[in-house]
A and B are shown apart, each in its own frame.
Chain A
Amino acid sequence: MVRPRVYRAEGIILRRRNLGEADSIFTVFSGTEGKFEAIAKGVRKARSRMRGHLEPLTRSRVLVAHGRSLDVFTQAETVDSYRRLREDLEASAEAIYCLELVDRFTEEREPLHELYALLVTALSLLEEGGGAAVTRHFELRLLALLGYEPYTEGCVICEGHLEEEATLLSPGAGGLVCRQCHTEAGRGRMISVDVIKLLRFAKRATAPEFMAVRTSLEVAQEMRVAIAELLRYYLDRDPNARRFVEGVRSLDQRGLD
């Protein structure tokens, strides 16, 4: 069968890399094609027809032609430019962080419909002012969809029952570990009962349900750090955008003084 010369995709633009005088390579994350890169020729010229439709953090419909080395965008049209999200520094920071997570956790051309739907939902909720809780839910669901969901129903090593108390969360073992198994668990962090409950709840809760849970600042902070350690373990690094999210948060705190 002859391969069609062009294909369509709807996706979120994750990032841009400039090439030469006027071209850019964009990374798109779509449900049907997964993550892919393609080049937009002349997109940096003022009169480019695709400019603006391929801006990172835009949801766009694109038409892409197969190229010899790189595919080429031939058309692009905005579905959602997330304007209110862009005009809010905190929300932008959270969204940029989510985009980086998707970029780092996915391989090219691997269709991930559910992860795409999750990202679209997260961006909409961030736009509506959902804040950091949206990101926490997004992180946990992303881990689950990619097969990294931490096991929290019992001890991940002996499968024994867990007492309702602060418990070791070990990324290496893949979940909570009871006291008897600590020595086999590798590195980890003790997490409180509140955080354990939140982790369990996130498995079955939709993002709005998860956001509706009221948590203290301390628990939110503990949750953030616990998930950050899981992500760091699987990525072997911290996402770059985390520092920005934290920098923006500290601006807020400065304002409160």
Chain B
Amino acid sequence: MPDAGAPEPITRLIQEFSKLPGIGPKSAQRLSYHVLGAPEEDARALAKALQDVKETVVLCSICFNITVNNPCLLCGDEERDRSLVCVVEQPLDVLVVERTGGFRGLYHVLHGALNPIEGVGPEKLRIQELLGRAEAGGLKEVIMATNPSLEGEATSMYLQRLLQPLGVRVTRLARGLPSGADIEYLDDLTLSRALEGRQEL
């Protein structure tokens, strides 16, 4: 709890910081006093950045990735293959796939995965929007890049059932060994799928 001796703006800042994930009351206090002691332009830059992120960042109306342009730069890029869509759970996943440099299609961000026990159903994800893209035509292949977890796999299978009748080829990322892993500690599921997906040396 904020100390009784601190002026109101400081206690308010402490309260706001402690709403952030992973920030407890002590960290919030430290951050607040740090901001107080920091140069004024740093504090203003922080305030501006916070404001901008809420005011200018929107979801792309096509792929639902976070963007400041709508449609986003990826969806607007004429060089990219528009018949290929990679489906991911989170905006961060787009960055990771992009970093590989090996994908030249478009994306679709679901904003989560089906989680039946937690009550996350299809209506809470951007599934209708994906079907809309498929129904609009021009899509040849949809690549499922959801997490290889119970929820991610269920999401992929569910989407596959919805997309297949629309005449779209549905694929999913291969499952295999992560770099630097120990075979000894691999789970059976990963290893058996890696065996099946083995490749000529």
List residues of A whose CB falls within 8 A of some B CB.
Answer: 15-16, 20, 46-47, 49-53, 55-58, 78, 81, 83, 86-89, 92-93, 96-97, 99-100, 103, 239-241, 243-245, 247-248, 251, 255
Q: Which of B154, B181, B190, B192 contacts A93 (CB 8 A)?
A: B154
Q: Could you write out 21 A-B pairs with CB less than 8 Å apart?
A: A16-B149, A47-B178, A49-B185, A55-B149, A55-B150, A55-B187, A58-B187, A81-B189, A83-B188, A83-B189, A92-B153, A92-B157, A93-B116, A96-B117, A96-B150, A103-B117, A239-B117, A245-B116, A247-B122, A251-B161, A251-B162
**Which chain B residue lies CB-closest to A13?**
B150
Interface, chain B (partner A; CB < 8 A) = 22, 114, 116-119, 121-122, 149-150, 153-154, 157-158, 161-162, 165, 178-182, 185-190, 192
Pairwise interchain contact B192-A83, C-beta atoms closer than 8 A: yes
Please report the C-alpha to C-alpha distance between residue A49 and residue B116 in the assembled complex, in whole angstroms: 27
Q: How far is the CA of A93 from the CA of B185 in the complex (A)?
A: 28
B161 — nearest CB in chain A belongs to which residue? A251
* Known contacts A57-B150, A86-B153; A46 and B180 CB within 8 A of each other: yes
Given A52-B186, A55-B150, A92-B150, A15–B179 Cβ distance below 8 Å? no
Contact B116 A244 (CB under 8 A): yes
Contact among B149, B165, B181 with A46 in the assembled complex (CB-CB below 8 Å): B181
Q: Which of A52, A103, A241, A245 contacts B190 (CB 8 A)?
A: A52
Contacts of A53 in B (CB 8 A): 187
Q: Closest chain B residue to A75 by CB distance?
A: B185
Question: What's the nearest-Cβ distance from chain B to residue A135, in Å?
Answer: 13
Query: B187 to chain A: which residues have CB within 8 Å?
Result: 51-53, 55, 58, 78, 81
Residues of B within 8 A of A47 (CB): 178, 180-181
Q: Is the CB of B117 within 8 A of A100?
A: yes
Distance of A222 from chain B, by nearest CB (Å): 24
Q: Please name all residues of chain B whose beta carbon is closer than 8 Å to the beta carbon of A15 when the two chains form the complex.
A: 117
- Min CB distance A195 to B, Å, is 26
Taking CB atoms, residues of chain A closer than 8 Å to B22 are 20
Partner of B158, one of A51, A89, A99: A89
Query: A16 — which chain B residues lie within 8 A by C-beta?
Result: 149
In the assembled complex, which residues on chain A have CB atoms less than 8 Å from the CB atom of B161?
Answer: 89, 251, 255
* Cα distance, A103 to B117, chains bound together (Å): 10
Q: In the bound complex, what is the Cα–Cα distance between A50 and B185 (angstroms)?
A: 7
Q: Does B116 lie within 8 Å of A96, measured CB to CB?
A: yes
- Complex Cα gap A239–B121 (Å): 13
Contact B150 A241 (CB under 8 A): no
Q: Do B165 and A255 have beta carbons less than 8 Å apart?
A: yes
Cβ contact of B157, chosen from A20, A81, A89, A239, cutoff 8 A: A89
Q: Which of B165, B179, B188 contacts A81 (CB 8 A)?
A: B188
Is A240 within 8 A of B179, CB to CB? no
Q: In the complex the two chains form, what is the Cα distance from A83 to B193 in whole Å? A: 10
Q: Are B154 and A241 in contact (CB under 8 A)?
A: no
Considering the chains assembled together, what is the distance between the CA atoms of A93 and B157 in angstroms? 11
Bound complex: CA of A99 vs CA of B117, how far in Å? 9
Asked if B121 contacts A244 (CB within 8 A), the reply is yes
Which A residues are CB-close (under 8 A) to B118?
A: 240
> In the complex, what residue of chain A is closest to B193 when comparing beta carbons?
A83
Give CA–CA (A177, B3) in the complex, Å.
63
- Tell me whether B179 and A46 are in contact (CB under 8 A): yes
Is A248's CB under 8 angstroms from B158's CB? yes
